[in-house]
Amino acid sequence: MTSEKALAADGCVVIVGASLAGLRAAEALRTEGFSGRVVLIGDEPHRPYDRPPLSKQVLMGKWAPEKTELAGEARLAELGLELALGQRAVGFDAERLRVDLEDGSSVEGDGVIVATGARVRHLPGTEGDPGVLTLRTLDDAVTLRAAILAAGPEARVVVVGAGFIGAEVASACADLASEVTVIEATDVPLAPILGEEVGAACAALHATKGVALRTGVGVERLVAPKDGKPGEVVLADGTVLAADMIVVGIGVLPNLAWLDDSGLLLGDGVECDEALFAADGVVAAGDVARWRWRHGPFDERVRIEHWQIAADSGAAAAHSLLAGRAAAEPFNPVPYFWSDQYGVKLQVLGHPGPDDDMVEVVEGSLESQRFVALYGRAGRLSAVVAMSRPRQLMAYRPLLVAEASWDEARAVDLA
C-alpha cells in the first residue's frame, strides 16, 4: 500500500535501472538496515558498470572493458539483490507500485526507485545506422574502440558535437587516428554551461593535439562509412568532410518511455519534489530525475547528468523512501563534475548556468590552461571551474556548502 509513512524494513523495493544510481540506492537500503526484498531490474545484460571510463580509459585501450564493473558477483550476492538483468521495464502503475516487464511478467513493491538514466540523442535519420557511432553503453565503447582500430592510424574521424563526451572522444581518437575534426553547431562549445570565456578555453584544448574544431556550423547530411568505403559529412556551409569514422555526441534524453501511462508527472525527466519523491512510494534518482533544488535564495528545478549526482541521489532516494514522504530530507548536494581531455582535468563544483552574472579567473590564466574561475549569481558564489587545479578547486567546497557570498569567495587565499 502506498503511503507517506516510512517503509517497513521487511517490505519490497523495486529498483528500475541497474547502473550507478540504481546500485547506490540498493547499497544505501542495505546500509540503512533494510532487510526486505530488493529487486534490481536493468535492460542491459551486464552487471552495473561505470560510464566515465568508457570515453577515457576504455576507448584509449588502457582498461579492459570488464574493469569498469561497479559491483562484481560477490558484492551483488552480499547485497542480497534479486537481479533481473537483460529485462526491460515497459510499464509502470504508480498507484499500485507495479512494474511491468518486457517478458510479460510484473513485479509489485512497497516502494519503487526509478533510475533509468538517459540515452543518446541521434542526428535525425541516423538511429540504428551502424556506420554512425554513439557512446553511452559499454557495448558502444567496445564497438567504438574496435572501429577506430579497424580504421587504422591514417583514419579520418569526424566527431559531431563538442560537448564533454564529444571532446573526450576526439581527445582519445587524436592518439589513434591521423585526422580528427570536431563539428559544433554553437559558436563557442560549452558556452551555455560554462560561459563564453571558459567555453573558449575548453575549445582551445582541441588544438593541443591537432584536432580541428569547426564551430557555428551544423551538419546538413551525412553518408556513413560502409564496407571499408569512407563516408562523408556535409556541413551547412557546403563543406564536405571525408570520414572513415563518424561519431555523434549531441547530448542525451531521459529514459521515460516506460513511464508514459504511469501517472507520474513527466517533463524533461521524472518530476520530483525536493526529497526526490515523484509520488507516494516512488522516488527517482540519477540522470532521469528532475528535482526541486532549493539552495540559498535559489529555487530551481534541475536534472543533472553527472556521475556524482547520480551516485549521491541514488543513496538519497533510498533514504527518502525508507523515511517516508512526510519525514524525508531534501536532497541538497553541491554538484561536482569532471572531464578528462587532452591530458587536462576540467572540474566543476556547483552548478554554473546561464543565470550567472559574474565570472572571474582568480588563479592562473585561461590561456595557460591552468586556472580557477569563480561564477557568481545575485551576489553569491554559484560555481567554481578549474583546469588542472584540483587542490585549489576543492578549497571552495566549504564555501559552496555554506552558500557563501561572492565577496567571501573572492577573499579566499589560494596560496
Interface ranges with ligand FAD (CB under 6 A): 16-22, 41-44, 51-52, 54-55, 88-89, 115-118, 135-136, 165, 255, 258, 286-287, 305-308, 310, 337-339
Q: How far apart are CA 256 and CA 254, in angstroms?
A: 6
CB of 31 to ligand FAD, least distance (A): 18
Q: How far apart are CA 206 and CA 20, in angstroms?
A: 30
Residue 18 or 170: the one with the smaller Cβ distance to ligand FAD is: 18
CB of 83 to ligand FAD, least distance (A): 12
CB of 85 to ligand FAD, least distance (A): 9
Q: How far apart are CA 143 and CA 133, in angstroms?
A: 8
CB of 296 to ligand FAD, least distance (A): 23
CB of 115 to ligand FAD, least distance (A): 5
DSSP H stretches of helix in 152-295: 164-174, 191-208
Residue 109 or 286: the one with the smaller Cβ distance to ligand FAD is: 286
Residue 170 or 412: the one with the smaller Cβ distance to ligand FAD is: 170
What spatial distance separates the first Cα and last Cα of the chain, rounded to whole Å?
57
Residue of 197, 201, 203, 228 lying closest to 216 (CA atoms): 203
CB of 350 to ligand FAD, least distance (A): 13
Residue 258 or 406: the one with the smaller Cβ distance to ligand FAD is: 258
Is the CB of residue 128 less than 8 Å from the CB of residue 224? no
Residue 41 or 235: the one with the smaller Cβ distance to ligand FAD is: 41
Residue of 129, 203, 209 lying closest to 166 (CA atoms): 203
Is the CB of residue 334 less than 8 Å from the CB of residue 401? yes
Residue 20 or 155: the one with the smaller Cβ distance to ligand FAD is: 20
Phi, psi for 398 (deg, rounded to 5): -60, -30
CB of 13 to ligand FAD, least distance (A): 15
CB of 211 to ligand FAD, least distance (A): 18
Q: How far apart are CA 325 and CA 276, in angstroms?
A: 9
CB of 14 to ligand FAD, least distance (A): 11
The length of the chain is 415
CB of 310 to ligand FAD, least distance (A): 3
Residue 223 or 313: the one with the smaller Cβ distance to ligand FAD is: 313
Q: How far apart are CA 70 and CA 165, in angstroms?
A: 20
Q: How large is the angle between the packed helices 307-323 and 20-31, nearest 10 degrees?
A: 40
Q: How far apart are CA 392 and CA 371, in angstroms?
A: 9
Q: What is the DSSP letter of 6?
A: P
Q: How far apart are CA 322 and CA 324, in angstroms?
A: 6
Q: What is the DSSP string of 151-178?
A: H-TT-EEEEE--SHHHHHHHHHHHTT-S
Residue 134 or 392: the one with the smaller Cβ distance to ligand FAD is: 134
Residue 137 or 405: the one with the smaller Cβ distance to ligand FAD is: 137
Residue 139 or 220: the one with the smaller Cβ distance to ligand FAD is: 139
Total Cβ atoms within 10 A of residue 177: 21
Q: Which residue has the cell 574561475?
A: 373
CB of 339 to ligand FAD, least distance (A): 5
Helix/strand/coil for 367: coil
Max distance between CA atoms of the chain, in angstroms, equals 64
Residue 11 or 286: the one with the smaller Cβ distance to ligand FAD is: 286
